[in-house]
Structure 1
Amino acid sequence: MIELALVGIGTGHPDHITRQGERALNAADLILIPRKGEGKADLADVRLAICSAVVTTGTRIAFFDMPVREGAESDYAGAVERWHDAIAEAWLAAIAVHLPGGGRLALLVWGDPSLYDSTLRIAERLARRTALRTSVVPGITALQALTAAHAIPLNAINSPVTVTTGRRLETGGWPAGADTVAVLLDGRCAFRGLETAGVSIWWGAYLGLPQQLLRHGPLADVAGPIARLRDSARVAHGWIMDTYLLRRSPPAP
């Protein structure tokens, strides 16, 4: 039996892990950390730094090579499914080497495992192949970190919030009926394709970390500067995790 704990790590700061998350990491027999290639080595380093800060027991740490997702714009869903299959195989291979007799396994998940993250879907694949029991320890979500960094509420008074992805924003435009739109997983700055009149943006990257970047203002004024800043930060650090909130002012009476 594998006892799998998925521990949310917020945006990568050790303080974003709950005390429950710390206990789960310290109780594990093994923590698996993905390696995503030399260009993203800092991502593994962030996870290692978190473990160094909060793990005080003899928990072992092992690495596995993260499969690369194929580029398939015409079959995005299929490409993601095949990628998840490959990741599940990588997990199984690592478990066979480092935890062959079963035990307690932990993975550190960016943000919260329940919000636009596929770790749970990959765990479902493992459950079809081996005895597995999964638990989830929620962490600080990117949206919590973003609104806290800007000191703003997530929603306007009596107004709903639509949470979506950059891909959906790029292909579908502004979600119907939404005044506030929270966007995750946007590697192409889809906000640049929106009608900017009356729209404000609150953007943040590396939230809570020493290299945190924040920008806010009318979308018409800051869309270009944010995109350029994002590009330069990614080059400088080798990776970037960012998110943003868009809010449209109500029409004048």
Structure 2
Amino acid sequence: MIELSLIGIGTGNPAHLTLQAAEAIRACDLILIPNKGKGKDDLAALRQEICAQVIADAASGPRIVEFDLPVRDPTIADYTARVDHWHDAIARVWIETIRAQLPAPAAAAKVGFLVWGDPSLYDSTMRIAERLKATQEVSLTVIPGVTSIQALTAAHAIPLNEIGAPFTVTTGRQLRENGWPESTDTLVIMLDGECSFQAIDPTGVSIWWSAYAGMENQISLSGPLAETAEQIIQTRAQARADHGWIMDIYLLRKS
């Protein structure tokens, strides 16, 4: 049996690591770090840095192994089916890597996977781990982490919701295809590679945007959407060119 821990590590700032997460990292026999390819080396490097800060004795600490993530199959037209197929492929890579690194594990070998932000929020790590659980080889533990939403609202020093009011967390694709939900005046938009705020009427809407929220290279812009949108688009494009990758998130609120 393999004890798999999905450890939320916050948004790239080692100071976001909780005591529970640090203890879980130190308790591992093996830590898996995904390599997302050229241009995203920083993501693996940040995970390596977190491990280096937490693990006091590298010689006797957990083995740290990077592995290449498979890519999505562009020939599968249906989005859900394409993602499902991709998750199957990732699960196979996980178990193959674990078996290769722990060919004859002791009872309850501990394997850790460091998850950006929190495993519960727009992250598929738990869904992939469920595939491993189905083999009855793996048990699952989840360690919560600081979310990008928390980092965003902290960066701008704003509350997430207005007094007694609901808010909606959704994706850029949903905003583009379905527009602003009628049930709320506050939206948090994640997983948006296309600046989908361009798809809505900016009248009376304010935006709070952050890239690399919570990290040393954090960029934050805010203001009326009609006045700020173009600045965000240009800043985002430049940041992506400079770093080779970008993670951003924003909050929209109707006045």
Question: Common fold, TM-score beyond 0.5?
Answer: yes
Q: Secondary structure at the match of 2:221?
A: strand
- CA separation of 1:246/1:11 partners in 2, compared to 1, >3 Å: closer, same or farther? same
Name 2:8's counterpart in structure 1.
Answer: 8
2:92 alignment partner, one of 89, 92, 98:
89
Q: Corresponding residue for 2:30?
A: 30
Instruction: Please state if 1:220 is matched with 2:226.
Output: yes
Change (3 A) 1:212 1:72: farther
Partner of 2:189: 183
Structure 2 residue 167 is matched with structure 1 residue 164: no
Aligned to 2:141: 135
Are residues 69 and 223 of structure 1, via their aligned partners in 2, closer, same or farther at CA, if it must alter by over 3 Å?
Answer: same
SS in structure 1 of the partner of residue 232 of structure 2:
helix
- Give unpaired runs (5+ residues) of structure 2: none
CA contact (8 A) 1:11 1:241 kept: no
Evaluate the alpha carbon distance shift between residue 230 and residue 70 of structure 1 in structure 2; reply closer, same or farther with a 3 A threshold: farther
- Structure 1 vs Structure 2: percent identity of aligned residues? 55
* TM superposition outliers: structure 1 runs of 4+ over 4 Å: none
After TM superposition, the score normalised by the length of structure 2 is: 0.95
Paired residue secondary structure (1:160): coil
1:68 correspondence with 2:55: no
Q: In the aligned structure 2, how far is the partner of 1:242 from the partner of 1:166?
A: 11
Relative distance call for 1:74 and 1:173 in structure 2 (3 A) is farther
- Where does residue 51 of structure 1 map in the other structure? 51
**Structure 1: runs of 5 or more not aligned:** none
Query: Are residues 1:112 and 2:115 paired?
Result: no
| Deviating more after overlay: 128-137 vs 11-20 | 128-137
CA contact (8 A) 1:112 1:138 kept: yes
- Distance verdict in 2 for CA 1:183–1:72, change over 3 Å: farther
Alignment pair present for 1:246 and 2:252: yes
Which SS does the other structure have where 2:40 is aligned?
helix
1:100 Cα deviation from its structure 2 partner: 2.3
The one-letter code matched in structure 2 to 1:41 is D
Letter in 2 for 1:14: P
Kindly state the Cα deviation for residue 71 of structure 1 after the two structures are TM-superposed. 3.4
AA aligned to 1:75 is D
Q: Contact 2:39–2:243 at 8 Å: present in 1 too?
A: no
